[in-house]
Amino acid sequence: MSTILKVDDLVKNFGGLAAVSNVSMQLNDDELVALIGPNGAGKTTVFNLLTGVIVPSSGAITFNGPNGTVPINGMKPYKVADLGLTRTFQNIRLFKNLSVIDNVLIAMTSHYKEGFIQSVFRLPTYYKTEARIRQEAIDLLKIFDLQDDIDVLAKNLPYGIQRRLEIVRGLAMKPKILFLDEPAAGMNPEETADLTRLIRQIQREFHITVLLIEHDMSLVMNLAERIYVLDHGSLLAEGTPDEIQQNDAVIKAYLGEEA
């Protein structure tokens, strides 16, 4: 199993506050990893650093892609996304007044760049490409049972389906790594169970790496192959779900709060 993303001694300071302190971690091809910790532990800050939303104070983030090793420190978010690092957010960020399929099509168009002449004059190749993109979007929506909602405005979908659509939109960008920031937030038990099945399906069918932030420990322990635990911006522990559940420092800092 090869490493696709490597993080070395990552630090982020906000004024005099160290939000992330010397965090090192790695993600391997085709694995599901969870990042957990109490509120304020620095989890979302780490996500923001890894996806280019904010710039590290120090440390190194290295992506090992098909074109070789690329340092992504300070890279703009859209360039990070172009490399194949895609994320969702705690608060759903769909285009609420657009249809389900339009939300997916917007994500897919970054992979299809028609020439200026074809676009302006609507040459046959333009329409062929447009038809191909739409069919790919429909095929993707079918995989996740959203084909009956193609023309529904995103704002009119139930909360759990909106969350599913956001994940599907991330997959439409053909990521190498999918970052899921608290995908079960605000969900009821039935929706959480559906989400668990969805994430398993993503791993099975798309063979991508998933890094998950989540507070629902039953979801994390059922899904994750490895877990990193943050506390006050520092890495407290790393291991398998069984190892994390038996780690005294983790139980004291975090898991014990759930007991």
pTM to 2 decimals?
0.86
248 burial type by CB count under 10 A (0-12 exposed, 13-18 middle, 19+ buried)? exposed
Is pLDDT at 132 greater than 50 in this prediction? yes
Domain boundaries, the chain: 3-16+25-97+173-258
Q: What is the pLDDT of residue 120?
A: 44
Alpha helices, DSSP H, located in 59-158: 77-83, 100-108, 116-121, 124-143
Q: CA torsion angle for 199, 201, 207, 213 (degrees, to 10)?
A: 0
| Sole residue written with tokens 């937030």 | 185
- Per-residue pLDDT of 63-78, as tens digits, reads 998 888 999 988 999 8
Question: 177 has which bridge partners?
Answer: 85, 209
**Is 3.90.79.10 the CATH classification of the domain at 3-16+25-97+173-258?**
no
Alpha-carbon distance of 36 to 23, in angstroms, equals 13
- Per-residue pLDDT of 220-238, as tens digits, reads 999 999 999 999 999 999 9
